[in-house]
Homo-oligomer: A and B are copies of this chain.
Amino acid sequence: MATLKDVARETGLSVTTVSRVLNKRGYISEKTVEKVNEAMKKLNYQPNEMARALSRRSSNTIGVIMPHLDHPYFSMLLSHLDDAACEAHYRLLVFKSKGRESRTEEYLDICNGNRVAGIILCSGHVRTEVFSNGGSPLITMERFMEHGTSAVECDNFQGGRLAARHLIGKGCKRLLAFTGVRGMGMPADQRVEGFRGVCRENGVEYWEVPIDPRIYDTLEYGELIEQELDACSGVDGIFAGSDVIAAQVIQACSRRNISIPGQMKVVGFDDTRIASLTTPGITTIHQPVREMAHLAVSLIASARAGEMVPSRTVLPVTLVERGTT
């Protein structure tokens, strides 16, 4: 592989001058720049990004830690994070934590060891002392964290209210809500709070079903849904808490010959690709994931520039109506 020395030899310039061209430092004539660029092309010279990052004491890499990579919500988020990072000339170092605390902390260590420009954490609990000395700006998405972080969330509370209002507006009398993951203390818990409030205001009967963390790990909700359909008789509307759950509610209803939206109405959450791929399509709460992703990346840039960043930013949600209601 060609080195800086080879480029210098090819151009007849000093290594220092070539390095100055590469790093755009000081005054260099256009002719010299052209000469260096031509030689670099001819020799197929690749600037050593690691060496350059080391001299800057920080890389242009953002660490992204997600519980799942094979999940429509996190896939959509990762795709938008890639767009935002690309625009801002960052690259993404991606880790799957499966929600396991021990692994998340290990990944934070790796990120800090790699002197990342920032970390975007979409994973569960991390002991705050783990990253309080880390140095890289830490953005959490749809997760709470106590110290030294900036949280980006959608308006989960309002999302729950929209879902309940929509189901009640469609004539539902007995509602079932799948809530956040038990004991995780996630922003998603506020969805059911918003939902509950509207049910009470309207005097509508409702049941809440918390999700076991083991089920969240496997994303297999079928059995739980069947149990609840047995336990809560006469339910005619379901707030599924996520599109992945909503898709499995459609399957469970199909197995029992319960027609959707005739006998049962269903609202999901997230507005992932799955919501438009099921039959019928899922009425759902749209998270502005594109905007959340761009915000997260720009917060990292702001934090690095020494600007004050909000400790929490909540973006609005909307209801998207499809076939399940």
Residues of A within 8 A of B (CB): 1, 44, 46-51, 53-54, 59, 61, 68-72, 75-76, 78-79, 82-83, 86, 91-96, 109-110, 112-115, 133-135, 219, 244, 247-248, 250-251, 254, 273-274, 277-281
Contact = CB atoms under 8 A, between A and B. Distances in A.
Contacts of A69: 75, 78-79, 82
Contacts of A54: 48, 50-51, 54
A219 to B, nearest CB: 8
A221 to B, nearest CB: 10
Contacts of A76: 70
Contacts of A49: 110, 113-115
Residue among A70, A135, A250 facing the most chain B CB atoms (10 A cut-off) = A70
Contact of A113 (B47, B82, B247): B47
Contacts of A91: 93, 95, 110, 114
Residue among A78, A79, A86 facing the most chain B CB atoms (10 A cut-off) = A79
Contacts of A48: 54, 113, 115
A112 B135 CA distance: 27
Copies of this chain in its oligomeric complex: 2
B61 A93 contact: yes
A78 B78 CA distance: 11
26 contacts: A1-B133, A1-B135, A46-B112, A46-B134, A47-B113, A49-B115, A50-B53, A61-B93, A69-B79, A70-B78, A72-B273, A75-B75, A78-B94, A82-B94, A82-B95, A86-B96, A91-B110, A92-B94, A219-B273, A247-B277, A247-B279, A250-B279, A254-B280, A274-B274, A274-B277, A278-B279
Nearest to A280: B254
Contact of A251 (B112, B251, B279): B279
A281 B82 contact: no
A130 B273 CA distance: 34
A281 B251 contact: yes
B254 A113 contact: no
A109 to B, nearest CB: 7
Contacts of A59: 50
Nearest to A251: B279
Residue among A48, A219, A244 facing the most chain B CB atoms (10 A cut-off) = A48
Contacts of A133: 1, 44
Given A69-B82, A70-B78, A75-B70, A277 B96 contact: no
Residue among A69, A82, A83, A254 facing the most chain B CB atoms (10 A cut-off) = A69
Contact of A279 (B86, B113, B244, B279): B279
Contacts of A110: 49, 91
Given A54-B54, A254-B279, A274-B277, 7 more contacts: A46-B109, A48-B54, A69-B75, A70-B78, A71-B75, A251-B281, A278-B278
A293 to B, nearest CB: 11
Nearest 9 pairs of A and B residues by beta carbon: A70-B79, A69-B79, A49-B113, A75-B75, A247-B277, A44-B133, A49-B114, A82-B96, A94-B94
